[in-house]
């Protein structure tokens, strides 16, 4: 959701080079982005493993090497778009003259030269990033997320779709994420897919990681060719390519759902325990969110795993929303 920042910075700072520090798994997703000049991989998993295994000398060596690599660029400005301790520390390692980031309860403010608020909570997609740009004096002409999928990934994705015998248009389901409080009811995905197929004559494709395959099978089993489970059969960029080809995207608060808006696909987002936004500048993205006294609880559920904020969203509510955007 931070991708609108790239285009705005490129337009706002004429002639500037923009480098993005990124998880290596996401590099292919930004490799062809015209607003990024360089991608710098940060091996978070390696650092975490060295901390867990108490390999502190190796960790210090990695940190010093990483700092040397960053500082040689002599950055003028580093923006921290997360406001986390680790992101502030990485900003500090850049040795940029200015290091600006979001205010938060996380430690490490002293790593930054300036901390700003996330602005008024207007519940619009990417609002905090747009507010930061405003504070920097940069005009934002297009606030929508922006992604570019490499052609080779599109071709691989098309081959995967063809190999499963999926012909013509299809819908995408993005039911999975790392936190259970974000999940919708499993049986409702199956019911939704079957009702969509009956009404529109279009099958649905489930996307997810390897760890989601069993749950995806539980949704698709017994549906014939109405719901296909591709969980674990695509990498992130191939999944993004499939999202870009979808007739419609329905998902919980996860990256694949947000990609639907980036690719300007009709999208229905199901939010409850988390609610990153309620509105977007793309009129065919609709958010279903049933407000409860305890929501959004984010990482601190108080409902004994019942998650009524998600169970309050019914299949019929989703179907009715789909009718308005498809």
Q: 128 vs 243, which has greater pLDDT?
A: 243
Cα–Cα dist 317/213, whole Å = 26
**Using one digit for the tens of pLDDT, what is the confidence trace for 210-231?**
999 999 999 999 998 999 999 9
On the question of pLDDT at 300 being above 80, the answer is: no
On the question of pLDDT at 95 being above 90, the answer is: yes
- CATH homologous superfamily of 151-323 equals Glycogen Phosphorylase B; (3.40.50.2000)
Confidence of residue 302 (pLDDT cuts 50, 70, 90): confident
Confidence of residue 298 (pLDDT cuts 50, 70, 90): low
On the question of pLDDT at 244 being above 90, the answer is: yes
Over the chain, what is the mean pLDDT?
Answer: 91
On the question of pLDDT at 1 being above 70, the answer is: no
Q: What is the pLDDT of residue 283?
A: 92
Q: What is the pLDDT of residue 186?
A: 87
Beta strands 267-271 and 204-206: pairing type?
unpaired
Q: What is the pLDDT of residue 85?
A: 96
Residue 208, CA distances (Å) to 120, 145, 250 in order: 33, 21, 13
On the question of pLDDT at 295 being above 90, the answer is: no
Say which residues have a Cβ less than 8 Å from residue 258's Cβ, sequence separation at least 6: 1, 125, 145, 269
Q: 53-87 in b/e burial notation, b at 16+ Cβ within 10 A?
A: eeeeeebeeeeeebeeebeeeebebbbbebbbeeb
**Using one digit for the tens of pLDDT, what is the confidence trace for 248-275?**
999 999 999 999 999 999 999 999 888 7
Element (H, E) at 237: helix 236-245
**Using one digit for the tens of pLDDT, what is the confidence trace for 104-126?**
989 999 999 999 998 887 688 88
C-alpha distance across the termini of the chain, in Å: 23
Task: Verify cis geometry, omega within 30 degrees of 0, for the bond prior to 296.
Answer: yes
Residue 115: name the closest of 123, 104, 124, 126 by CA: 104
Q: What is the pLDDT of residue 309?
A: 84
Residue 271: name the closest of 259, 253, 285, 257 by CA: 253
Cα–Cα dist 11/272, whole Å = 36
- Please state the rounded mean pLDDT for residues 170-189: 91
Q: Which CATH architecture has domain 4-135?
A: 3-Layer(aba) Sandwich (3.40)
Q: Do domains 4-135 and 151-323 have the same CATH topology?
A: yes
Q: What is the pLDDT of residue 2?
A: 77
List the chain domain ranges.
4-135, 151-323
Q: Percent of the chain at pLDDT above 90?
A: 68
**Using one digit for the tens of pLDDT, what is the confidence trace for 23-78?**
988 888 888 999 999 999 999 999 999 999 989 999 999 999 999 999 999 999 99
């Amino acid at each position: 959701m931070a991708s609108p920042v790239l285009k705005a910075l490129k337009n706002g700072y004429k002639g500037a080079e923009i480098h993005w520090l990124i998880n290596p798994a996401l590099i292919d997703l930004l490799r062809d982005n015209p607003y990024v000049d360089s991608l710098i991989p940060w091996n978070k998993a390696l650092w975490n493993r060295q901390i867990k295994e108490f390999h502190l000398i190796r960790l210090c060596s990695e940190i010093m090497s990483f700092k040397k690599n960053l500082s040689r660029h002599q950055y003028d400005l580093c923006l921290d778009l997360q406001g986390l301790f680790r992101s502030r520390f990485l900003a500090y390692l850049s040795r940029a003259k200015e290091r600006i980031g979001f205010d938060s309860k996380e430690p490490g403010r002293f790593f930054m030269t300036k901390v700003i608020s996330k602005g008024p909570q207007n519940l619009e997609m990417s609002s905090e990033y747009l507010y930061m740009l405003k504070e920097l004096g940069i005009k934002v002409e297009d606030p929508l997320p922006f992604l570019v999928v490499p052609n080779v990934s599109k071709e691989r994705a098309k081959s995967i779709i063809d190999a499963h015998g999926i012909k013509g248009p299809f819908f995408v389901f993005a039911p999975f994420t790392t936190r259970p409080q974000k999940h919708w009811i499993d049986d409702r995905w199956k019911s939704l897919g079957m009702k969509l197929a009956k009404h529109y004559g279009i099958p649905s494709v489930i996307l997810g990681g390897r760890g989601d395959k069993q749950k995806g099978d539980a949704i698709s089993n017994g549906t014939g060719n109405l719901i296909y489970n591709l969980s674990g059969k695509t990498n992130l960029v191939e999944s993004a390519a499939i999202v870009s080809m979808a007739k419609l995207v329905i998902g919980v608060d996860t990256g694949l759902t947000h990609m639907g808006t980036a690719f300007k696909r009709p999208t229905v987002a199901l939010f409850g325990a988390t609610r990153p936004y309620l509105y977007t500048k793309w009129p065919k993205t609709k958010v279903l969110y049933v407000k409860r006294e305890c929501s959004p609880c984010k990482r601190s559920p108080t409902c004994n795993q019942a998650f009524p904020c998600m169970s309050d969203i019914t299949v019929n509510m989703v179907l009715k929303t789909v009718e308005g955007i498809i």
